[in-house]
Amino acid sequence: MHDIKAALTEVKQTIAAAAKAVGRAPRHVTLIAVSKSFGVDEIRPALEAGHRDFGENRVQEAMAKWPDLRRDYPDIVLHLIGPLQTNKVPEAVALFDVIHSVDRLKLAHKLKAEMEKTGKSTGLFVQVNTGEEDQKAGVFPTDADDFIHQCRDEIGLVVEGLMCLPPLEDAPAPHFALLAKIAARNGVKNLSMGMSADYQAAIRLGATHVRIGTAIFGARKPH
Ligand SMILES: *Cc1c(COP(=O)(O)O)cnc(C)c1O
């Protein structure tokens, strides 16, 4: 059987080494263990090993798994890393601590309204479609400055970070560098970038949050 605890330890060591290699403190890189498609039997070993940050890409799937786990581990930090439909905003705000996929004004307005209504505040990252792919969520790089400005100054949201998901066929580093540049010129602090195949490159380019599934949990089950 795939040893999730051992894989988690190895990923953490690799993160620490990648951070130190560029003079960064490993604690400034948050490892989000992406547990989409996996069940509580795979998630529990990671929790037992002391891990607390997890990522899911579907609200519905997360709602089926996490409320129970949270009762046992109240300090879990849950990240939504997939696209969010506006009709799922109430559920998403209730369940998630951080949403990495803010990419439309309508969604930003809904999030603001929901947080005001419930008093729950959720960390928000703006997703940037750095590869300008039609099928992919995220604002285009050329629209990112305006979008961040509108989120902050017109809607009154705190933009905690930016997120990107480079095209599969591209070298990821230029996408990470572009995201870092957009964040720097807008004074945005956090960068959610890097997955199993490329998180070391992402850390070199400033990632504060890496989203890693396969390297921890093994190959995903069909969704
Ligand atoms: C699935 C997913 C990941 C994790 O991918 P791995 O290659 O399994 O590490 C990271 N980010 C997003 C947005 C994902 O959907």
Q: Which residue has a Cα nearest atom 13 of ligand 1?
A: 81
Here the tokens at position 48 are: 């037992």
Q: Which residue has a Cα nearest atom 10 of ligand 1?
A: 211
Asked whether 202 lines ligand 1 (CB < 6 A), one says no
Res 189: pLDDT: 97
Buried b (16+ CB within 10 A) or exposed e, 55-82: bbbbbebbeebbeebeeeeeebebbbbb
Pocket test for ligand 1, best of 34, 103, 191 (most atoms within 8 A of CB): 34
Q: What is the DSSP code string of 71-95?
A: HH-TT-EEEE-S---GGGHHHHHHH
Reference 160, options 107, 77, 102; nearest CA is 102
Q: Which amino acid is at 210?
A: V
Res 2: pLDDT: 86
What distance in Å separates the CA atoms of residue 172 and residue 47, rounded to the nearest whole number?
A: 30
Q: Please tell me the distance between residue 38's alpha carbon and the centre of ligand 1 in angstroms.
A: 13
Backbone angles phi, psi at 158, to 5 degrees: -95, 120
Res 84: pLDDT: 98
Res 223: pLDDT: 57
Res 41: pLDDT: 95
124 neighbors 98 (Cβ within 8 angstroms): yes
Asked whether 36 lines ligand 1 (CB < 6 A), one says yes
Res 204: pLDDT: 98
Q: Which helix (H) or strand (E) holds 111?
A: helix 105-118
Q: Residue 126: helix, strand or coil by DSSP?
A: strand
Q: Residue 212: helix, strand or coil by DSSP?
A: strand
Looking at the whole model, is its pTM more than 0.95?
yes
Q: What angle do CA 169, 164, 99 make, to 5 degrees?
A: 140
Asked whether 95 lines ligand 1 (CB < 6 A), one says no
Under-50 pLDDT residues of the chain: none
